Structure 1
Amino acid sequence: MSESTYTAGSPTPVLSVSPVVLPAPGRAVDLEVRVSAPVTGSDLPVILLSHGQGYSNHLSSLNGYAPLAGFWAAHGFVVIQPTHLSSRTLSLDPDHPEAPLYWRSRAEDMKHILDRLDAIEAAVPQLLGRLDPSRVAVAGHSMGGHTASLLLGARLTDPHDGTEVNLAEPRIKAGVLLAAPGRGGDALTAFTAENYSFFSTTDFSGMTTPTLVVAGDKDTSAHLTVRGAEWHTDPYFLSPSPKSLLTLFDAEHGLGGISGYDVAETTDENPERVSAVQWLTWAYLRSELYPGDSAWQAACDTLTAGPGPLGRVESR
């Protein structure tokens, strides 16, 4: 399945600026973001992209996920990528109460970005007046998928004080969860329940924002869950509609290599699969943010056309 199989128009040259530094009082360090945008166009929709974790030092930062950020920007989105406090690039105090994954701070980073879109425009003069703040989406891979799910309406109980946490962000109109964590409870390994206890109470019943869940059918994530690959489909099956699920055949946690080009920890490197993720996520967000846009239906039809499809889509 080549890029030319889909229809999204010709890619536009991309402007990428980093770091854009947003002062963040009370945060361990100021918030640094990368901003990628097409060099032309106005009233541009925005995608907030939350990085995952991993073995590499810099993929978990504003310097990761170039295959997604570059593609989305070349096809009409402004992509904003924060370096969360969980990033290896920051080397923060491991004894911080939220360390090492900083689940709450990650979601707060995204809210802070939305609060300061004017500052981002001012820091990147080529963007001034070109953003459409009424059309905002969030996307996240792995731990970034957990961050995105909280912004889309998923809830959990804070393991430190027992309070229910609601970080839903009404300014976000659609989302994409890429290999995101599923439910807690008996789905978790003992290691996860002990070391990442915030996963234990994840509840998707309030995740009402339209969302595309992307899962690999070989993504067992055995260090996190005892349920195998189906765990990553929980955000689809355990949340209210409208939702869509893209299941990628033979895909593992890297979904073919979305976190970066030629990444050693990608166990299922497959450029064709990455191309499918690029196009289908782009098409989904186009159609959600612009009602009546046919990109999503066209991409779904193309995915299943011909012999040997790369995956399947279901919706409810």
Structure 2
Amino acid sequence: MRRRGPGAEHGRVTEIMTGPQLSPLEILALLGAVALVVARWLPPGLRPRVTIAAGALFALSALGLPAVAGLRWQLLPVLAGAALASPFALAPLLRRRGGRRAWRARWWLALPGSAACLGLIAAGPVAAWAFPVPVFPEPSGGFAVGTRVVQWTDPDRAETFTADPDDRRTVVVQLWYPARRSPAGAPRAQYLGRTEQEARTVSEALARGVGLPGFLVDGVPRARSRAVFDAPVDGAGGRFPVVLFSPGSGGVRTQNTAWAEELASHGYVVAALDHPYDSAAVVLADGRTVTTETASSGDPDKDEELAAGWTAVRAADLRFVLTRLEGLDRGAGPDRADGPDRGADADPLTGRLDTGRAAVAGHSMGGAAALQAARQDHRFAAVIDLDGFPHGPVSPALAQPVLALTQAITPATDPRYLPRLTDALAAGTGTSYRLTVPGAAHLTFMDGPLYLPPVPSIVGSLGRAGSPRLVAGATLAFLDAALRGRAGDPAAALSAFGSLTVRRPGTDGR
């Protein structure tokens, strides 16, 4: 059954973040630089005063940036434009003060120079708009959001990426959960890491993974999400359903922070994994940084074999984390990696995790891992695949309801993707929903639209805040039905987000 709801266009969330993403001090430096160039074209009586004021404003702002906010590369064109304009703006003033006749270039010589300087200055806010410090959307649910990080080691599994037979598989997990309201001014959680240093380590590794110089995304480690680290768990929300999340190949646990915070604000606990030696960079509790060792061979058949193996490791990680969450709910101990030992005190999430209502989700290769984990472990009651190409065996058949979100299929899409996904869903014994989101790209389904250039082929065309809101909205419509038993057919809600194909047991899905 294929549906295209009337809300497919109206279901898009209004963009809430605009502007070039400049700090007040950067804006002052920008205004000073522009005034320095424009002063040359003012009436003679105004030129000296405007030039002096503009030069002072620019100099004070530029000198204050490194100390107050740090100098971002996006402001370098502004500095260059002002530096080129300064000699021509200040020279007439200095000559006049020295008693010499002020010399000014002819207008037809000065015009190209002024235009070039203004072009350089304008490149600054354009670069800041293209590569901003991400601003996370305010979660729309009724709960505030807390977050924390744990590190767990599986004593029963050897680490297959190392040669040490005594090395056990370790994963780092970030939890987002419904929390009590924190006091006004409580510091929000660092994005990409527990500290700014960890965030920079992860950001640089992510940039290297896609062949970009790290400085291009230097605004990302500066960002703060909407959650508060170690915020008290909400005391009135009962027990919360659990959603486990696996990132894309080379991705990290925080890559879907906006999505996780939105779910947590609606009463879910999200547990997102770092997969060491697969994630771009994982900072362990002892300070070591483990970087990715997965790489394409260039041979399609070999790559498919490798991907199936990596997916199997991820699926085992997901099953292990669900077991540890069950233990955490029973009070078995948190094994925290990010704070003081609680001793005999009960963990705040003990008795609050409804692991009997657990979903498994993932983006890209993480989506493939979610499908495999659900095949192998029926403790997972629902599956969410965010544009993930299925890898590995297709049996046993999926028994759980599945939501698969995909970008629009184009001639550039891997021709194996849609048939492989269709076969995986058609073989299942539970209801599946394949939602094709118009205007989406592969990175629409993670935080990329918040900080990457708004190029439709890279991040889609749903807007910086619209992308995570739409993905979370569709996810919540599915989870509320699958885990909470909300009345009504989720297809009606899902169809508002795009083109929907529903496959129910015993039907062909048309």
Common topology (TM > 0.5)? yes
1:76 aligns with 2:263: no
**TM-score when scaled to structure 1?**
0.73
In structure 2, what is the equivalent of residue 283 of structure 1? Answer: 477
Give the distance between the partners of 1:22 and 1:53, measured in 2 at CA. Answer: 21
**8 Å contact 2:152–2:171 — kept in the other structure?**
yes
Equivalent in the alignment of 1:24: 154
The aligned counterpart of 2:280 is: 88
Aligned partners of 2:145 and 2:178 also within 8 Å: yes
Amino acid at match of 2:316: E
* Alpha-carbon distance between aligned partners in 1 of 2:145 and 2:396, rounded to the nearest angstrom: 38
Match of residue 116 from structure 1? 324
- Cα deviations across residues 27-54 of structure 1 (Å, max 9, x unaligned)? 3552210011001222100000111125
Task: Tell which deviates more after alignment, 211-220 or 258-267.
Answer: 258-267
Q: What is the aligned partner in structure 2 of residue 187 from structure 1?
A: none
Normalized per residue, the structure richer in helix is 2
Give, in whole Å, the separation in 2 of the partners of 1:229 and 1:254. Answer: 18
**Is the Cα–Cα contact under 8 Å of residues 386 and 404 in structure 2 kept in the other structure?**
yes
Matches within 5 A, 1:154-303: 168-182=376-390, 199=391, 202-203=393-394, 206-218=397-409, 222=413, 225-227=414-416, 232-255=421-444, 257-258=446-447, 261-263=450-452, 266-270=458-462, 271-294=465-488, 296=490, 299-300=493-494, 303=496
Gaps of 5+ in 1: 55-59, 154-167, 183-198, 304-309
Aligned counterpart, 1:36 = 176
Contact 1:179 1:232 (8 Å CA) reproduced: no
Per-residue CA deviations over 1:196-240 (Å, capped at 9, x if unaligned) read xxx4x6426612211111111146675xx3346665555334534
In the aligned structure 2, how far is the partner of 1:285 from the partner of 1:78?
A: 12
Change (3 A) 1:260 1:44: farther
Secondary structure of residue in 2 paired with 1:208: coil
Unmatched segments (≥5 aa) in structure 2 = 1-10, 15-138, 160-166, 180-233, 282-289, 296-304, 337-346, 505-510
1:30-88: CA deviation from partner (whole Å, max 9, x where unpaired): 2210011001222100000111125xxxxx12222112111111111000011113112
Q: Aligned with 1:102: secondary structure? A: helix
Instruction: Give the length in aligned residue pairs.
Output: 266
User: Greater share of strand residues, 1 or 2?
Assistant: 1
In 1, distance between residues paired with 2:13 and 2:459? 22
Alignment of 1:7-22 (within 5 A): 10-18=141-149, 20-22=150-152
Letter in 1 for 2:280: R
Residue in structure 2 matching 1:313, options 500, 503, 506: 500
| Residue number in structure 2 paired with 1:135 | 357
Contact 2:439 2:461 in 1 (8 A): no
Partner of 1:307: none
Q: Provide TM-score, normalisation by structure 2.
A: 0.47
Q: Which has more radius of gyration?
A: 2
Contact kept? 1:215, 1:232, Cα under 8 Å: no
Q: Distance in 2 between matches of 1:127 and 1:260?
A: 32
Instruction: Describe the superposition over 1:8-41 as per-residue Cα deviations: whole angstroms up to 9, x where unpaired.
Output: 97431101001x0112232355221001100122
How many Å apart are 1:93 and its aligned residue? 5.3
